Chain A
Amino acid sequence: MNRLSLLPGGRSLATLGAVILGSIALTLVGCKKEVSGGAGAAPGSEPIRVGEYASLHGSEATFGQSSHNGTVIAVEEINAAGGVLGRKIELITDDNQSKSGESATIVKKFISRDKVVAVLGEVASGRSLEAAPICQTNHIPMVSPSSTNPDVTATGDYIFRVCFTDPFQGRLLAEFARKSLKATKVALLTDVASAYSAGLAKYFREPFEKNGGQVVIEQKYTGKDKDFRAQLTAIKAANVSAIVVPGYYTEVGLIVAQARQLGINVPIFGGDGWEAPELIEIAGAQNLENTFYSTHFSPEVKNPLIEKFVAAYKTKFGQVPDAMAALGYDSAVVLFDAIQRAGSTEGPKIRDALAATKDYPCLTGKTTLDAERNATKSAVIITVKDGKFKYLETVEP
């Protein structure tokens, strides 16, 4: 009885043991393969790992994809030119699907498992704010390509960005509204669920009101909302001469379409969150007449660096790069330059080199990282004409 019951038990135990041993062996083989791959190249020249977390899917996917594509081009260029410190760059990309909560997990994984030397990311300020404290505590430098909210770099001295900030963008939009649009009374329509939108609204309001403008009405919505007619009806009743929508293109497209349907024909303008070809698809080309947004880069600007990038981007991805692609590229080249100057892949040394970045020629203008680890650079205003984005003017800081 005893033996009988023991026997099958013993057997299944043996099977289990075999399975475990097998999987350990498999893992070992897997590990070995990876190690030998690294050792196959000359000793001490295994690639430098850089982690990139990005919104490759979900609501800000258009931004995330562009930014990622730009980064990929930068990595390919540097590797073709022999890499950094004589070592190739290995880019490890992970997708947070535009969801909150994912970025923190991804960056933890980058640091603990992939042993990256630096982190690149991300386009949305809210998600950069999730990852930044983790990079800061682990002393891993993080360079954000296009998070414009000031809080991102305020997290700590390991967090940098290569784009301008919302206070600058807000001031610029306020100036644009007063000077170019001659608007005195405007309405604000803000996404309260987004750090980017709420921040930009605030930084627009202050200089605008100081220059004699007036925000007559401020209405709010929450990201992923689809119906804005109620807010727009209230705005229409307030009789404004322009509407500021500092949001992302998914909602902006619907807002512009619904505003035009309600017979609101005043100029509508916003920040770099507007820039995506989907904006035209969602809003409809004729609804977008008389709309404007500020952004970092226009492929129409004449400059050899930009022309080279546009050509490389077109051959690889078959489309014209947008501002996010340019910033994705810039974030990577600024980081590579810093690693090269640091002469080391240790976090603190890269950090110091990044902080010393001065007048580095980027696609989005000469980049100097200031004491707040922000970039000071020029901006461009884009308008929509006949369903196409058109470059209007460049604004210096």
Chain B
Amino acid sequence: MTELLQQVINGLSLGAIYALIALGYTMVYGVLRFINFAHSDVFMLGAFTAFYSSRALGRWGFAGGGFLGGLLVLVISMAACAVIGVLIERLAYRPLRKRSTLTVLITAIGVSLFLQNGGQMVFGVNPKAFPNIFPSQTFKLGGLVINSNQLVVLGVALALLSALHWIVQRTRIGTAMRAVSFNATAASLVGIDTNRIISFTFGLGSALAGAGGVLYGMNYPSIEPLMGNSPGLKAFIAAVLGGIGSLPGAALGGMVLGFVETGVSGTRWSTYRDAVAFAILIGILLFRPAGLLGRNRIEKV
């Protein structure tokens, strides 16, 4: 029983990170109908921004390792990633806005390779030890062990998810995002500046990826420029699993994937972890092609 509960906690903290990254994929898909493959590298940049900014803060005498210091590092990373996301959209994707989705997709892969190899040049290829940006403590409840980092991950992920929900459902810009997602041409006809909305979406999604990178680094403190590959792929699966284009779907998909992975890893079949994850994806797509919470969209030809 204790083992099961412990695995649930492990699954939650892994799923929360997948969910944060999956949201970025799904948001961009929602407004632009393409998969931003560079998203997982923005995630990596988030982790590295945290690495360097926490060092810099420490050097300037700002108490490193405190709770406020940790939040500051998180905010810096999110802001940096938002700027990077907007820049990527402005420089790489906007010039191709009128081209076919395939062209943009290939460009996204190019941007991803650029960031990965650029990262290897700038940061070096060797794994770096991620600093403890939040005070780390371990709590014991009976046989259960919970690390404060896991709690921070869950807390931050929940806070960001609610913030995102509020932005999309309750603010003017969120309404505009939904309008663009529904029909970009109609949205521009009623006076919505679609370019601005798309920039905003990229910024928002990239900020979430940045936060995901920081949380990932805290939980698994060894970061390197190719670290985005595996979680990026998993988050992409999570987004498809939950129904790409749907925000609650991405969050749900991330959680499902986190649970499945820990569930399988804890058994004798741990090597089949990815196989099980993909089998579930295929199963769901067979019976619900739009994903768990996705709506079937009828495409007019």
- Show the binding face of A for B, using Cβ within 8 Å: 57-59, 61-62, 97, 192, 218-222, 224, 226-227, 229-231, 233-234, 236-237, 250, 253-254, 257, 261-263, 278, 281-282
Contacts and interface: CB of A to CB of B under 8 A. Distances in A.
Interface stretch (B59-67, B172-180, B258-266): B258-266
A230 B127 contact: no
A257 B270 contact: no
Given A220-B270, A220-B271, A226 B7 contact: no
19 contacts: A192-B271, A219-B265, A226-B222, A227-B262, A227-B265, A230-B264, A231-B266, A234-B267, A253-B222, A254-B220, A254-B222, A257-B221, A262-B145, A263-B140, A281-B129, A282-B127, A282-B129, A282-B221, A282-B222
B102 to A, nearest CB: 28
Contacts of B120: 57
Contacts of A261: 138, 145, 147
A61 B222 contact: no
Contacts of B140: 263
B219 interface: yes
Contact of A231 (B14, B125, B147, B270): B270
A17 to B, nearest CB: 35
A281 B265 CA distance: 26
Contact of B126 (A57, A254, A263): A57
Contacts of B221: 254, 257, 282
B222 A230 contact: no
B265 A231 contact: yes
Interface residues of B, number: 34
A227 B220 contact: yes
B3 interface: yes
- Which residue among A57, A61, A234 has the maximum number of chain B CB atoms within 10 Å of its CB? A234
Contact of B14 (A219, A227, A250): A227
B171 interface: no
A257 B217 CA distance: 13
Contacts of B266: 230-231, 233-234
B226 to A, nearest CB: 9
Contacts of A229: 10, 262
Interface in B216-242: 216, 219-222, 224, 227, 230
Given A57-B120, A230-B7, 14 more contacts: A57-B126, A58-B125, A192-B271, A219-B265, A219-B270, A220-B270, A221-B270, A224-B230, A226-B216, A226-B220, A227-B220, A236-B6, A237-B3, A278-B127
A230 B261 contact: yes
B10 A230 contact: yes
Interface of B: 2-3, 6-7, 10-11, 14, 120, 125-127, 129, 138, 140, 145, 147, 216, 219-222, 224, 227, 230, 261-268, 270-271
Contacts of A97: 125
A257 B132 CA distance: 12
A261 B11 CA distance: 16
A36 to B, nearest CB: 35
A233 B8 CA distance: 11
A260 to B, nearest CB: 9
The 4 residue pairs across chains A and B that have the minimum distance between CB atoms: A226-B220, A230-B265, A281-B129, A230-B266
Contacts of A219: 265, 270
Nearest to A227: B14
A250 B125 contact: no
Nearest to A235: B266
A62 B222 CA distance: 14
Contacts of A62: 126
A229 B7 CA distance: 8
Contacts of B224: 59
Contacts of A192: 271
A262 B126 CA distance: 27
A59 B262 CA distance: 24
Nearest to A95: B125
A233 B6 CA distance: 7
Given A221-B270, A227-B14, A282-B129, A263 B138 contact: yes
A61 B270 contact: no
B270 A230 contact: yes
Nearest to A222: B271
A59 B127 contact: yes
Nearest to A98: B125
Contacts of B222: 226, 250, 253-254, 282
